[in-house]
Amino acid sequence: MTEVKIKTAFAAAHPNIALIKYWGKSTRDGHNEPAVSSLSITLDTLLTETRVRFDPQLDDDIFLLNGKQDEQKLSRISRNLDKLRQLAGVTTRCEVASSNNFPTAAGLASSASGFAALVAAGDRALQLDLSFAQKSMLARSMSGSAARSIGGGFIKIALQNSGPEDAVFGRAFAEQIAPAEHWPLEICVGIASESEKAIGSTEGMELSRTTSPYYDAWLAGNDQDIADAEQMVITRDFEKLAELSEFSCLKMHALALASRPGLLYWSGATVEAMHCLRDLRAAGVPVFFTIDAGPQIKAVCAPGYGDRVAEALQSVNGIRRVIRCGLGCGVRVTD
Ligand code: PMV
């Protein structure tokens, strides 16, 4: 093992939101492998920018989030850095400085964009030249959804396509189904709360796997949901994708709600917003909702309907603000 001279690199990544949700981890291994396949869209507007600096003067890794040292998240960051160091054959410690232009750990997939940016910046700084799939697997080992932020547009992690287990990388990785230009959907994110969520997804997933009576049914329906959703994306069938995405979202939350103790990620405003968006759809506006492990509501609408949907969402009691997004690109090195 050697020490490298100071090496710096910058990367930027966007969060993604799953239309076919991932909830539950495989029990087979230690690589944070998902128990189900998932399908997502990568957003633009919301952004994580990360700088890594491998520096032989450092005694320990350091993590700065939005300019402030964050000890709590450091151990996860260090585990990711250890994998990068192992691949490069170096021991040099690293300072990671990351900033988000949106609330962190509040169900807006900051861990997805965060780990995707970290892997891409680390790859560049240590000159590893990892492939798309390898970057996706390294990001996945820290946060399942981060595997999908390596790519842009429409992305899936299909467990059926995973290769044999690799000692460093594990198995599951993301692939692009279609680029953003294929179908420029618009997304309105309704912010119901800016505070960090009480129960993180890793803990929540484990609780659901071990206690929710719906877990086996959740696993059983996944292959069909993925195959159908991919087809709907390819054929740009909004109506069918709307129905299936809401089904996947509500199924995930039913699974979580039926855990013991039940995981209730919604606030009153989340529920009000679901009704509002369903009423809009009934009135002919092509829109559907999806919600992750937090109270924020994401309204996905057909191209050209963003203004109408944003206005409706903004009028929901308890929705503090609405962030408008389109579909974005994958992670990129920015120096
Ligand atoms: O990647 P994690 O561990 O933050 O889990 C993501 C879980 C959901 O956002 C709720 C669903 C998904 O597929 O992104």
Q: How far is the CA of 41 from the centre of ligand 1 (A)?
A: 13
> In this structure, what token pair is assigned to residue 64?
């700065």
Is 110 close to ligand 1, i.e. is its CB under 6 Å away? no
Kindly give the confidence (pLDDT) of every residue in the chain, 335 residues in length, as a single tens digit, with 9 standing for 90 and above. 666 688 999 999 999 999 999 999 998 777 899 999 999 999 999 999 999 999 999 999 999 999 999 999 999 999 999 999 999 999 999 999 999 998 765 567 788 999 999 999 999 999 999 999 999 999 999 999 999 999 999 999 999 888 788 888 999 999 999 999 999 999 999 999 877 667 889 999 999 999 999 999 999 999 999 999 999 999 999 999 999 999 999 999 999 999 999 999 999 999 999 999 999 999 999 999 999 999 999 999 999 999 999 999 999 999 999 999 999 999 999 97
User: Domains of the chain (ranges plus CATH)?
Assistant: 7-181 (3.30.230.10), 186-325 (3.30.70.890)
- Can you tell me which atom of ligand 1 is nearest the CA of 21? 13
User: Which of 205, 171, 214, 231 has the alpha carbon at shortest distance from 24?
Assistant: 205
Probe ligand 1: pick from 26, 145, 222, max atoms within 8 Å of CB? 145
Whether the Cβ atoms of residue 98 and residue 65 lie closer than 8 Å to each other = yes
Find how far residue 188's CA is from the centre of its chain: 16
> In the chain, which residue ranges form alpha helices assigned H by DSSP?
74-88, 110-125, 132-140, 201-211, 215-220, 222-234, 238-257, 268-282, 306-314
Which residues share a beta bridge with 46?
Answer: none
Whether the Cβ atoms of residue 134 and residue 170 lie closer than 8 Å to each other = no
Is 202 close to ligand 1, i.e. is its CB under 6 Å away? yes
Whether the Cβ atoms of residue 105 and residue 16 lie closer than 8 Å to each other = no
Could you give the 3-state DSSP secondary structure of residue 30?
A: coil
Predicted structure pTM score: 0.95
* Per-residue model confidence (pLDDT) at position 1: 63
Is 115 close to ligand 1, i.e. is its CB under 6 Å away? no
Is 319 close to ligand 1, i.e. is its CB under 6 Å away? no
Whether the Cβ atoms of residue 172 and residue 34 lie closer than 8 Å to each other = yes
| Burial annotation 172-187 (CB, 10 A radius, 16+ → b, else e) | bbbbbbbebeebebbb
Residue 198 neighbours by CB distance under 10 Å: 12
Write the CB contacts of 190 (distance below 8 Å, at least 6 apart in sequence). 269, 273, 296, 297, 298, 299, 313, 314, 316, 319, 322
Helices 74-88/132-140 angle, 10° precision: 140
> Residue 257: phi, psi to the nearest 5?
-65, -30
Q: How far is the CA of 292 from the centre of ligand 1 (A)?
A: 7
Probe ligand 1: pick from 23, 36, 222, max atoms within 8 Å of CB? 23
